[in-house]
Each structure stands twice: as structure tokens, then as C-alpha cells.
Amino acid sequence: MSKKVLYELEFPVRCSPGILYEFLSTPAGLQEWFADRVDFRDNVFSFSWNGTAEEAEVIEQEEDEFIRLHWTHAPKDEYFEFRIQISEVTNETILVVKDFAEKKEVKDQSQLWEYQVKDLFHRIGS
């Protein structure tokens, strides 16, 4: 099996960092756009899609800035991250998504994230 590579996607968003962070770091917020059902217990999110469940542990987070999670079934050095940045030039809020995928799957995975983030933006009215 080939080693996965880290890739990064950036999405400008018309939303305050505080509101955006709620959608990225709480069960209620994530359930709005990321999964059908989201639970959180003992620092682990449980995500369900169409009856399939996955768990991700919160590795690190800083309020209104970022949250980094690790799928419990993935290799230890892999994670996915939602980071909120403010453009110094435009003062615009930017959502940065970091994730791992096999090199040949980066394009497909990126499209999946774009679809998910579009749903997020629809939910927050951006």
C-alpha cells in the first residue's frame, strides 16, 4: 500500500471565526454539514453516515483557530484538520482543510471536501 500524502485546501468564507469554529468543533455544528449523526465523548467524535460509523479522536485544538482530528483506524501520523485563518491583505476569513490521501486519490478526495464545504457554507449562509 502506498504512503498517503498531506494535501491542503483553502476556502474563503463570509463568516466570523467564532461562528465557523462552532460548525467545525461541536457535535451539533458538525452534524449540520459533515455527517448524518455526530456524538462526542471522552475526546472522541463518532460520525455516522447511512448507518456506517467512524470515530476520530481530537488530537489538538485551539478555540476559534483550529481543530485537528485523527481517525482511530488510520496510521498514527495521519490526521485531518480544520484551520481558520484571516487574510492579512483582505481581512477575509479562510477555512483551511488538511487531510491525507493516496497521491492518485487527492483529486477525488479534494472534490469530496469541496462538496462537504459547500454544504457547510450553505448552512452558515455564506
pLDDT per position as a tens digit, 30-84: 999 999 999 999 999 999 999 899 999 999 999 999 999 999 999 999 999 999 9
Q: In which band, very low, low, confident or very high, does the pLDDT at 1 lie, cut at 50, 70 and 90?
A: low
Which is the CATH superfamily of the domain at 4-125?
START domain (3.30.530.20)
Phi first, then psi: give them for residue 39, nearest 5 degrees.
-125, 155
Q: What is the layout of strands, in order, in the sheet containing 52-62?
A: 5-13, 93-101, 80-86, 66-71, 52-62, 44-49, 37-41
All three cell numbers of 68? 485537528
pLDDT 10s digits, 90-100: 889 999 999 99
Question: Dihedral (C-alpha) 78, 62, 16, 22: value to the nearest 10 degrees?
Answer: 70
